[in-house]
Amino acid sequence: MKNANHGAIDNAQLVSIIERIEKLNEDTAAIAADIKEVYAEAKSAGYDPKYIRQMIRLRKLDPDELDEADELTKMYRDALGL
């Protein structure tokens, strides 16, 4: 991608951008490791990580979306005799 300098690249800016992205990638990896540790802690405390993940997904929904998901789940379960 070229900037306003007629095709010239601002090396310092490019290095800065790349270094910032690398740092964010490192942070992301560290956070992912922390999350994995919390799931392991939950599992050792007797909680099922599968359902914790499901609860986290559901908490992201607004109340109307959650109600709709509940209704659809019930409808599908009823149709399957579950």
pLDDT by residue (tens digit) across 1-45?
555 556 788 999 999 999 999 999 999 999 999 999 999 999 999
Output Rg (C-alpha) for the chain, integer angstroms: 23
Least confident of 4-8, 12-16, 52-56, 75-79: 4-8
Residues 37 and 15 in one domain: yes
- Under the banding of pLDDT at 50, 70 and 90, the label for residue 57 is very high
Contact call for residues 58 and 66 (beta carbons, < 8 A):
yes
Q: What average pLDDT does the segment 43-67 reach?
A: 96
Residues 62 and 43 in one domain: no
Q: Say how far apart CA 35 and CA 11 lie, in whole Å.
A: 36
Q: Is residue 2 part of a domain?
A: no
What's the whole-model pTM score? 0.68
- Under the banding of pLDDT at 50, 70 and 90, the label for residue 54 is very high
The whole-angstrom distance between residue 72's C-alpha and the CA centroid of its chain comes to 24
Residues 42 and 17 in one domain: yes
Q: Report the number of distinct structural domains present in the chain.
A: 2
Copy the structure tokens of residue 42.
């939950």
Q: What is the structure's pLDDT at 7? A: 77
Q: What is the structure's pLDDT at 3? A: 54
Residues 39 and 64 in one domain: no
Q: Is residue 3 part of a domain?
A: no
Cα angle 67, 70, 72 (rounded to 5 degrees) comes to: 110
Residues 40 and 63 in one domain: no
Q: Is 45 helix (H, G, I), strand (E, B) or coil?
A: coil
Q: Domain of 63?
A: 58-82
